[in-house]
Every structure is written in structure tokens, then in C-alpha cells.
Structure 1
Amino acid sequence: MSKPFYLHNTMIAAMMLMTGGAAHAGLSFVTTDTATRTEAFNIAGFATLPTGSAVSLGHLDYTGPGAQTVTYTYLGQESGFIDKFYNTLSGAKLLESNAVGTSISSVVSAAGPLSFKFEGDTGKFAINGGHWNEGTSIGLIGTNMLIGSTTYAYVLGYNDSAGTKHLGDWDDFVVGVSAVPEPETYAMLLVGLGLVGFSLSKQRQR
């Protein structure tokens, strides 16, 4: 990698983390399909999302830079279901019996789909970036969503439908996801910014 290329990308990453882009820094939702709600999404603390509204289906990826702590927070689910959320990287899980606001987390450094899955009370499951059993899917509820006193970079909903992945309300299990850089990642970016400043200073002296 050339020095100018490294400096340019380091500066962009640092600016994202230190400005309004920080909420999305490190995470990106990849849409692979679209669907339409056949039932209203209605969980306490959320605005009602009506029948007929569109839903983006897909997977949530880690994009870096460096290592970041990714946190998953349980935000509720439709009553009458016993669904679960597994952080397959750490082995931790979120359950219906957990209090809303319960969080689990792990440090992630590898780019690509985050390691988690939803599992329904029928034994069906949907793996992020992997296999979805028939009738299940992972939908994007929103980005930069303020729920209570916390803003989540991404809010995801699980659909455990008796039909196809395109039918449902995506409120069978809902999680908020955010990423925070590890100290060494901030250090790397600060060093990069220092190199940018040094390089610009040398250019002015020429």
C-alpha cells in the first residue's frame, strides 16, 4: 500500500469516527432483498410501522477500521413468541426473559458479516450473512434510532413467519447494534493523522 493511499484512507476513517459519521463507523447494512409488512410493527418505545410499509432484508457487516467493540441490545419482541438472539462469536445470547435494554458485546476486527443469528420458537433460524430457514429473515428497522435515551446505529428485527421471508412484521425479536473503537484503533488513527499533518507540512516547505 502506498504512503499517500494509507494517509488518505486513515484521514477519512478518523474523520468518520470524530464527526457525525461516527454512528455508522464500523458497520454497514447490506440489502439483499426487499419485502412489505403484512402486519403492523408495534413494540413499546417504537413508532408504529404500518402494514404496507417496506422492509429492507439483508445482513449487517463490520467494515472497520481496526478493532471495535460491537454491542447488541435487546429492545423487545412481539408477545407470545419465545425467540432468541445468539452472538456466535462470543457464545452469549439474548432471551425473551431478559429485561429490555440487556446488552451483550464482543470485540470484532475481521471485515464481513457480523457473527450472530436469530432463532425462533419453532427451531427455525436466520444467520446473519448466511442461511435463513424458510419463513425467516432479518430486516432493517432503522438507522441512528433513538430508543429511550440511547441512539443505536442500526436496529434489526427478526421475522419468524409461518409463510415466506417476505411476510410478517419483523418484531419477533428486535436488537439495537452499535460499534465503539478499541483504544488501539483510536491510537492508530491519531498516528495516521499525525503522519497526514507531517506530510502536509513537508509539502508546504517544498
Structure 2
Amino acid sequence: MSHGKHFTLYSHKAAPNGWKPAFLLNELGLSYETVYLDLFVTGEQKKPEYLKLNPNGRVPTLIDHKNNDLTVWESGAILLYLVDKYDTEKKYTGADDKGKAEVLQWLFFQVSGQGPYFGQAAWFANFHHEQLPSAIERYKAEIKRVLGVLESVLSKQEWLAAGKFTIADLAFVSWNNVGVIAQTVDFETDFPATYKWHQKLQQIAGIKAGLAERARLNA
């Protein structure tokens, strides 16, 4: 593979987590090449050559070719690496201790709460080999809970952290687009402040470009 680009991003065309670093790379104006792995037919993410990069065998993984091919996996860790090294103006993170802490707490809430719960809801509702009503009910309840947490804050303020758009907001976008939400709640009616925030996020240039590319790839 040619390393003409600054980064190589290993991702998947549809999987939400891989789009988070793409959104931020777009916003930062950093050049990258995306390698879309086949997760379901050939299982490229479990092949030895990929496991050398990411022992967890998941996406995303990012290689920084201008930093000795430093490799970072886990979407939250990738976002933090990128802002720490390349967001020199602290545009997408907190500028002081309070702002940094706010960004971290929301980012950790996304990677430990929203992503896993929304993912399990989608799995048990749409992909599991048998219908398990108790599991579907549990994870759809978690969708409502997570959206309720966001609503409780976004009904009082425009952004989650540091009084501005940051990686804390960006991290939620791709999972808030999963289809299982529409199977669970009326997003606009039940969580109006969160819905408004989500619509605004989708118009931010780097996110909008990423979503357009995702739609093109999955058309």
C-alpha cells in the first residue's frame, strides 16, 4: 500500500465506530486513506495480518505514517490521539482542566454506554439467530435511558462539553444514526433537544462529508 497519505484508517463501510475518526480527520483537514475491511464474509478483521495492528480484531485502527507508523486502535483512543497531537488550537477539546474533564466524561459515556448498548439493541432486534424478547427489551430500554441522559443536559445547553462543539459531540453522531432507534422511540418527539443537536451535528462540514461518503459506499 502506498503511504502518500498522512494516515491509513482501517474501517468498515457501515459500522458506526469507524466513522468517528473519519469525521475528525475531515474536520482537522488531515489526509488519510481508508481501507474498508470485510467483517462478515471473509472476516478480514480476524486475520493474522490485521491482528498484528489491532489484537482486538475490530475496527477502527489508525496508522500515523508521519509519526513512525504509530498505530492506535479503539475509536475513543484515536479521537484523543488526534486532538492531543494535531488539534494545536484545542478547537475540538477543552482548553482548561474543566473543559478537558467534561470532554473526557462524555467521550467515555459514549464509548462505554451509547455504542455498546445501541449496538446490542441492533444485534438482538435485527441479527441474532433467534428472537429473545427479554434481551431486546433490555437494550431498547438502554437506548431510552442513554437518550434521556443526553436530553437532560442538551435541554439546558447547546453542546455537551466545554461550551462548544468538541469530540464529545462528534462521537455520538454515527450511533445516533442506527436504525434501531426508529424501532424504539420517536426521536424528534420523545427527545427534542437531543434530536435538534443531532441534526445540527450532521451539518458540520467534516461530519457532513463523512456521512455523504458513507451513504455513497452503502448505496
The answer to whether the superposition gives a TM-score over 0.5 is no
Sort the TM-score into its range (normalised by shorter chain): under 0.3
Q: Which has the higher strand share?
A: 1
Q: Give the structure-1-normalised TM-score.
A: 0.23
Q: Which has the higher helix share?
A: 2
Larger radius of gyration: 1
